[in-house]
Amino acid sequence: MDKYKLLFFVFLVILIVYFILAKTSAISEPIAKFKKLPCSSPVANALLGSPIVGGPVAEFTTNGDPIYLSARTFSHTGIFGEFGGSAKVDVGNITSLPTYDAKRSIVTSSISGTSLNEGEYVEITLPAGRYWLWSSSISGAIQVASCSPNGVSDPKSVNLAK
């Protein structure tokens, strides 16, 4: 019986540590969702295409000011064609490229993850630097925008529709 208590205790400690790390490891969590950008028009923006999880990453640089992610250009065909699209997006520092762990359904090296609904903007703030981005959507394109000069620069898009 003592062996089972010890195993339970170890399991409980691992679970607690996991949740503590999960809460503290993200640099940025979505702050707000907007139907429109808070500025009248983006000062800097880039269409990053469809950087599908497991494929090539899209890249961009930010100056540390808030940026706004949006899902665009979803295919509206088939049985669910009339509904808006959505995508899970993961962002990470370019110095640590991601991999997809299919067993646990997680993207490694992600420092910010959020869900985007077509037509909405999600605000995130990242430290100044270069980042990769992956999306769960096959048909939607991801746009990143900023209300400040050089808020978004040097984009590297992937899988843009021709």
Q: Give domain limits for the chain.
A: 28-156
Per-residue pLDDT tens listing for the chain (162 residues): 577 777 666 666 565 544 444 433 343 444 466 678 888 888 898 989 888 888 999 999 999 999 999 887 555 445 544 445 677 899 999 999 999 998 988 899 999 988 887 778 899 999 999 999 998 866 568 889 999 999 999 999 997 764
pTM, rounded to two decimals = 0.72
40-45 own/partner pairs: CB under 8 Å, 24+ apart: 42/68, 42/145, 42/146, 42/147, 43/146, 43/147, 43/148, 43/149, 43/151, 44/145, 44/146, 44/148, 44/149, 44/150, 44/151, 44/152, 44/153, 45/143, 45/144, 45/145, 45/146, 45/152
Q: Which of 120, 128, 125 is nearest to 153 (CA)?
A: 128
Write down the pLDDT at residue 41. 82
E strand or H helix at 46: strand 44-49
Q: What pLDDT is stored for residue 80 in this prediction?
A: 47
**What is the pLDDT at residue 23?**
38
Per-residue model confidence (pLDDT) at position 81: 46
CATH class entry, domain 28-156: mainly beta
